[in-house]
Structure 1
Amino acid sequence: MKAAFLPVTREEMLERGWDRVDFVYVSGDAYVDHPSFGMAIITRLLEANGYKVGVIAQPDWNDPESVAVFGEPRLAFLVSAGNMDSMVNHYTVAKKRRRSDAYSPGGEAGRRPNHAAVVYGNLIRRTFKKTPLILGGIEASLRRLSHYDYWSDKLKRSILLDSGADLVSYGMGEHSIIEIADALNAGLAIEDLTFIDGTVYRAASLEHVYDAVTLPSFPAMQDDKLEYARSFAVQYENSDPFTGKRLVEPYSDHEFVVQNPPAAPLTQSEMDAVYRLPYARTYHPMYEAAGGVPAISEVKFSLTSNRGCFGECSFCALTFHQGRIVQTRSHDSLVDEARAIVEEPDFKGYIHDVGGPTANFRAPACAKQLKAGACPHKRCLYPEPCKQLRADHSDYLGLLRRLRKLPGVKKVFVRSGIRFDYVLADREHGDAFLNELCAHHVSGQLKVAPEHVSDAVLSVMGKPRNLVYQRFAQRYEQVNRQLGMKQFLVPYLMSSHPGSTLDEAVELAEYCRDLGYMPEQVQDFYPTPSTMSTAMYYTGVDPRTMQPVYVPKSPHEKALQRALIQYRDPKNRDLVLEALRRAGRMDLVGYGPKCLLRPQGEGGGKERKPAASGKGARTRADVRAKAQSKPNDSGKAPSKARPSGPGKARPKPKPSTGKTSSQGGGRSGKSAGERRPGKSKGTRRH
């Protein structure tokens, strides 16, 4: 059921008969009371446990009074930068300022500071010197220990030290925040809260720190990047709640940052309870005049089915934030929420998504994970699916069947992306899932993330070999042909990832040439905090093996690699020509069918006209069928026609849902594969 918004002013607090709040939650996002927003989950969970919470959304970071709206809270300030790292929210991978912010009123940029959690923490400390201060959310979670900061090109200290905070609640924070609240309410001092899993605290000595692994010191890592690589490898191995050890990061002889093991994953009943809390399910009415908060538009009619991911892509921060153990909601919980969505006055019959970090993960990878955790030195899907992997789509199939039968539901889309190697690994239900997915849950296009075609690069990424994607693409084509439907694969590709030289970039360009289209979904690798790929970018080695990895770092080389993938764009001609020269591949300049560029100058002729972006047909098959309508997200059935083939051209996708995770809830903050913030849940990389 819905509930009134929590107080955002002192007057609203007094109207409730409160003279004081227990917690003040300060957020870099606008106030949206929907379970896709971590702020909503944490504040509603505290409320359900009997605590009084006030919300300060996007305070003026130049004015200490802006965080003193409610006075001093009885127990603590809670601070989150929002559903995304504030630097990713503000800047593109080219470090250019973004023009909009989907998590702010009217999409207006500039409503939060850079490094928001640090700025808010210090702002609070200017007025409230001794009040307990706890950081949470994706920004704090991924910066909880020393980390490489791409925007300053420096190794930075733990966010705990720079923000003035007492604790960091990392990961999905439901368990830790209630344990913190109950301990403070019982009269324990904040400096005595050293025992709570899923938290990071500071210590002046190690006298009372037991069973810990000591990481390289921060000064040592500053002096030697390889020390950071070694540290990150240890952190990565200890990111599981069952096997993870306590970690100590020394800063001096009298200053240490201590990370307790991760909090336990939620049980299904606990996760159901979180999503059963009474949310308003929309943005606060104070934003109505600005046109609302854009980020709600897609998540409002979407269902969060799961959290956690055992895919372990190197460029994704989920291992550090949500963990590898998949947690799911029950069918009844999701059906109940779907019924509530149907009752929304602006619901048009279309559920936009049923998914999570990876839509088709509806169970832990194996039975062992629920008892002993994920294997610290093995990966579930790479380089091949583990023999213990339980690849099973039967539960997800049953859920989708129930949802699409609900009265008032015209169509249920799956738009958060699927892991195609997991589909192929399911020998019992994989074919049935793909058939029903294509028949009922795809709006003309299916988003998948092969990322690259070079097996050398895919190996560094932790992705399956290119042959696996080709097998899936062929199967997808076959299924759609049998259904008589014209539906497309939307492949996400990544340039400039560690391991990718110009040779691999040319290989990817040749692959796009052979498919006959210019991909739109291309992302330069974005080195965001606490991913394996970012550690490679900074150190030049793979922390798991300590072997050197080639890293394209200069903006110019990154531009060359991106231009190669989109070689058909006339604006990229000079860059593509330079890249081909540097790679020794001038054989690809000429008039032959395998050439990427035509010569310029006398007798040079013109470039082949690139396929129109998102406009109708692009492949040879599409040219023959150009009179047919293009797929869309309107909910209308896709046109009946012969499919265009595996990985071939597809129309421009519409934005999908953007459920990102923050402190305690929602979806993963888009990490290394980041596109526009809040734009699309399809931007998650699998």
Structure 2
Amino acid sequence: MNRYFLPVCKEDMEERGWEQLDFLFISGDAYVDHPSFAPAVICRVLEAAGYKVAILPQPDWRDSRSFQTMGKPRLGVLVCGGNLDSMLCHYTAARKPRKEDKYTPGKEMGKRPDHATLVYTKIAKQLWPDIPVIIGGIEASLRRFAHYDYWEDKLLPSILTESGADLLVCGMGETQIREIADYLAGGASGEDLHYIRGTAYSAKALDGLEEFTELPGYDAICKDKRLLAESYRLQHENFDPFYGKTLVQKSSRGLYVVQNPPAMPLTEAEMDAVYDLPYTRQWHPMYDKEGGIAALEEVKFSIVSCRGCFGSCSFCAIHAHQGRIIQARSHASILKEAKELTQMPDFKGYINDVGGPTANFRHPACKKQLKFGACKDRQCLFPKPCPNLDADHSDYIQLLRELRALPGVKKVFIRSGIRYDYLLAENRQQFLDELCRYHVSGQLKIAPEHVANATLKHMGKPGKEVYLKFVKAFMQKNKEIGKEQYLVPYFISSHPGCTLANAIELAEFLRDTGRHPEQVQDFIPTPGSASTAMYYSGINPFTGEKVYTVHNPHHKAMQRALMQYRNPRNRALVAEALKEGGRTDLIGDGPRCLIREERFRTTGTLKSGKGKKPARRKQ
């Protein structure tokens, strides 16, 4: 494919004959020109609209001169911390520094600051105070209101008021960025941008704002943690673009945050237009000497077929960022991309994934969503599938068949995850047959997350019996077609609502099913999720009931150790957990015991106390 990268330096601008940019895009990630990377998408959308845009990836925030290498842009500066929240990029669930950053050349750590969006924005505002600085991406989007930061262990005000940005783009942003660019190109003022759907801005007063819903303010939540649950509930009730209202929150620095109603979902034609843009699907050649960008390897030969998620798991914020209404690409657009993959020199015949947040969501949960929006007071799949749910996989099955038939394609895998409760809701079960026959690479990853129904209730996930029903159906189908394929379930420890007894119940389930997970996930409260609101407030925002939460790092470690009770390094913690949970019957030589009595030593247990928090960088 004879395609070109976007400019990243002054020399690139000169080659194009540009004296000045329209927009400078500052990114916390390295530049990867692939539709799975937000900076590339937004910049390609602007390029297609006729604007001169360049990417400045991972500038040195300790030297403002690195921000000025391509000069002052004419219309505005765009800032994105990266594909992930920068704090999640830097720190683990134990608040320890990570060893590598897959979005940086050679996985090197330290190429972006903590709270990257905030830091970059402050520098841009200092350098160019007279032009708009607009923030977006996952970090900005999910920190737009007062939020709990797990790594600092404190409530933080809106990133909008703290950074001094002129505008915040909520969600994916393609519609908003075109409208913003056209307004600015037409000579609009900063205040003219305040009427764009899917954006938020700060204001000193609310004069002229007629109808809005006010969230508990930052100071009020600081005084009463329970109000964060109330704030999240009100936000959740207004996520939908069809009926969501303007939201207002009194923030810091004497300012209000005003969020306009969400942007409307993209049509099929609009989705196609975004993904049909001329991406090179490569990292920029300037990273070759460091070995490239590891994050690209996971998605290079994958295809995004849809966005949005009506699964609405409590610990996930995708539905807050992409919406609950599914938006899908046409078969023609997807097949065109697949054909381009087959022409790439390193393509071996395997499409690694065709999906989105949830692979088998290819259309809205029900027909009324495209007219009235998703229901405000009920979920599509939880606590059980809605009677109006359209659990039809026929379009997805047809798409996969068309992809399999392409010359040069040997196999099409599904790896972005499926909702097995949605699969089971389809009466014909045709998709399960196609999945097992053609789209599993020996192992299928699924995410039951837990087995204790008391915990699953707060996760927003179906009960254990649904998971077991799917396991049975999967094994029967593979036996029927003569294939030896396995499920790899993912579980989360120490989620809000998970008591020590629930953690022991999960350990017993792993024992009884012969599961020995090599990797487990400890719950990380990331900004913008219902589970994070539960973790901080101790309240389930949907029901108002109190929720047991594990904050002590030692107790979190015990729950995590129970999931890997066979690991010798965990025996002391497991024994301590079993004794504290009143389950010493699981210590001994019996067939149901988790650990043996004689192998337990009291040395080596972790000390109680709070984990060390990363110091917030001076800005």
What's the TM-score bracket when you normalise by the shorter of the two chains? Answer: over 0.9
Distance 1:462 1:476 in 2: 23
Q: Residue type of the partner of 2:298?
A: E
Distance 2:262 2:148 in 1: 21
The equivalences for 1:112-127 within 5 A come to 112-127=112-127
Partner deviation per Cα, 1:52-79 (whole Å, 9 max, x = no partner): 0011000000111111122211110000
Aligned equivalent of 1:218: 218
Aligned equivalent of 1:374: 374
Indicate yes or no: 2:517 matched with 1:519: yes
Aligned equivalent of 1:449: 447
User: What displacement does 1:252 show?
Assistant: 6.9
Partner deviation per Cα, 1:475-521 (whole Å, 9 max, x = no partner): 00000101111110000011100001110001001001101231224
Distance 1:382 1:505 in 2: 22
Contact 1:493 1:521 in 2 (8 A): no
Aligned equivalent of 2:144: 144
User: What displacement does 1:216 show?
Assistant: 1.4
User: What displacement does 1:300 show?
Assistant: 1.1
Distance 1:378 1:455 in 2: 19
The equivalences for 1:65-76 within 5 A come to 65-76=65-76
Indicate yes or no: 2:179 matched with 1:179: yes
Aligned equivalent of 2:394: 394
Aligned equivalent of 1:570: 568
Indicate yes or no: 2:550 matched with 1:559: no
Aligned equivalent of 2:486: 488
The equivalences for 1:55-66 within 5 A come to 55-66=55-66
User: What displacement does 1:191 show?
Assistant: 2.7
Aligned equivalent of 2:206: 206
Distance 1:360 1:297 in 2: 23
Partner deviation per Cα, 1:535-555 (whole Å, 9 max, x = no partner): 000000111122100001110
- Aligned residue for 2:598, secondary structure, equals coil
Contact 2:493 2:521 in 1 (8 A): yes
Aligned equivalent of 2:38: 38
- Aligned residue for 1:110, secondary structure, equals coil
Partner deviation per Cα, 1:9-53 (whole Å, 9 max, x = no partner): 112212211111100000001011111111111001001101000
- Aligned residue for 1:399, secondary structure, equals helix
Distance 1:65 1:475, change over 3 A: same
Contact 1:166 1:191 in 2 (8 A): no
Distance 2:92 2:480 in 1: 42
Indicate yes or no: 2:227 matched with 1:227: yes
Aligned equivalent of 2:433: 435
User: What displacement does 1:591 show?
Assistant: 1.8
Distance 1:87 1:581, change over 3 A: same
Distance 2:466 2:515 in 1: 21
Partner deviation per Cα, 1:260-286 (whole Å, 9 max, x = no partner): 111111000100011111111101111
Q: Residue type of the partner of 1:488?
A: Y
Distance 1:252 1:54, change over 3 A: closer
Indicate yes or no: 2:269 matched with 1:269: yes
User: What displacement does 1:139 show?
Assistant: 0.3
Distance 1:349 1:540, change over 3 A: same
The equivalences for 1:347-358 within 5 A come to 347-358=347-358
- Aligned residue for 1:51, secondary structure, equals coil
Distance 1:285 1:588 in 2: 56
Q: Residue type of the partner of 1:201?
A: Y
Distance 1:547 1:398 in 2: 44
Contact 1:197 1:263 in 2 (8 A): yes
User: Identity over the aligned pairs, expressed in percent?
Assistant: 58
- Aligned residue for 1:95, secondary structure, equals coil
Partner deviation per Cα, 1:74-132 (whole Å, 9 max, x = no partner): 11000000100001011111111111111111111111111000010111122112220
- Aligned residue for 1:435, secondary structure, equals helix
Indicate yes or no: 2:347 matched with 1:344: no
User: What displacement does 1:590 show?
Assistant: 1.7
Aligned equivalent of 1:533: 531
Q: Residue type of the partner of 1:308?
A: G
- Aligned residue for 2:256, secondary structure, equals strand
Distance 2:297 2:27 in 1: 20
Contact 1:542 1:548 in 2 (8 A): yes
Distance 1:394 1:15 in 2: 49
User: What displacement does 1:254 show?
Assistant: 5.0
Distance 1:252 1:329 in 2: 41
- Aligned residue for 2:294, secondary structure, equals coil
Distance 2:409 2:379 in 1: 38
Distance 1:207 1:102 in 2: 46
- Aligned residue for 1:548, secondary structure, equals coil
TM-score (norm 1): 0.86
Distance 1:497 1:228 in 2: 17
Distance 2:521 2:252 in 1: 40
Distance 1:563 1:269 in 2: 49
Count of aligned positions: 601
Distance 1:517 1:492 in 2: 11
Aligned equivalent of 1:672: none
- Aligned residue for 1:600, secondary structure, equals helix
Aligned equivalent of 1:298: 298
- Aligned residue for 1:134, secondary structure, equals strand
User: What displacement does 1:522 show?
Assistant: 1.7
Distance 1:578 1:152 in 2: 28
Contact 2:162 2:252 in 1 (8 A): no
Indicate yes or no: 2:98 matched with 1:98: yes
User: What displacement does 1:2 show?
Assistant: 4.9
User: What displacement does 1:3 show?
Assistant: 2.5
- Aligned residue for 2:251, secondary structure, equals strand
Q: Residue type of the partner of 1:558?
A: K
Distance 1:119 1:5 in 2: 26
Partner deviation per Cα, 1:431-485 (whole Å, 9 max, x = no partner): 2211111111100001110111111101110000100000000000000101111
Contact 2:228 2:536 in 1 (8 A): no
User: What displacement does 1:576 show?
Assistant: 0.5
Q: Residue type of the partner of 1:30?
A: A
Aligned equivalent of 1:155: 155
Aligned equivalent of 2:457: 459
Q: Residue type of the partner of 2:590?
A: G
Distance 1:460 1:2, change over 3 A: farther
Contact 1:216 1:250 in 2 (8 A): yes
Aligned equivalent of 1:314: 314
For the aligned residues, what is the CA RMSD? 1.3
User: What displacement does 1:6 show?
Assistant: 1.3
Moved runs in structure 1, 4+ residues, more than 2 A? 251-254
- Aligned residue for 2:517, secondary structure, equals coil
Aligned equivalent of 2:251: 251
Q: Residue type of the partner of 1:474?
A: K
Distance 2:104 2:281 in 1: 16
Larger relative contact order (Cα-Cα within 8 Å, sequence gap ≥ 6):
1
Distance 1:520 1:238 in 2: 40
Contact 2:146 2:251 in 1 (8 A): no
- Aligned residue for 2:195, secondary structure, equals coil
Q: Residue type of the partner of 1:101?
A: D
Distance 2:538 2:451 in 1: 22
Contact 2:325 2:373 in 1 (8 A): yes
Contact 1:308 1:325 in 2 (8 A): yes
Residue in structure 2 matching 1:593, options 566, 591, 605: 591
Aligned equivalent of 1:330: 330
Q: Residue type of the partner of 1:250?
A: K
Which stretch of the first structure deviates more once superposed, 125-134 or 372-381? 125-134
Aligned equivalent of 1:416: 416
Aligned equivalent of 2:86: 86
Aligned equivalent of 2:477: 479
Aligned equivalent of 1:683: none
- Aligned residue for 1:70, secondary structure, equals coil
Distance 2:471 2:519 in 1: 17
Contact 1:205 1:254 in 2 (8 A): no
Distance 1:2 1:392, change over 3 A: farther
Contact 2:493 2:559 in 1 (8 A): yes
- Aligned residue for 1:263, secondary structure, equals coil
User: What displacement does 1:297 show?
Assistant: 1.1
User: What displacement does 1:366 show?
Assistant: 0.3
Distance 1:191 1:66 in 2: 30
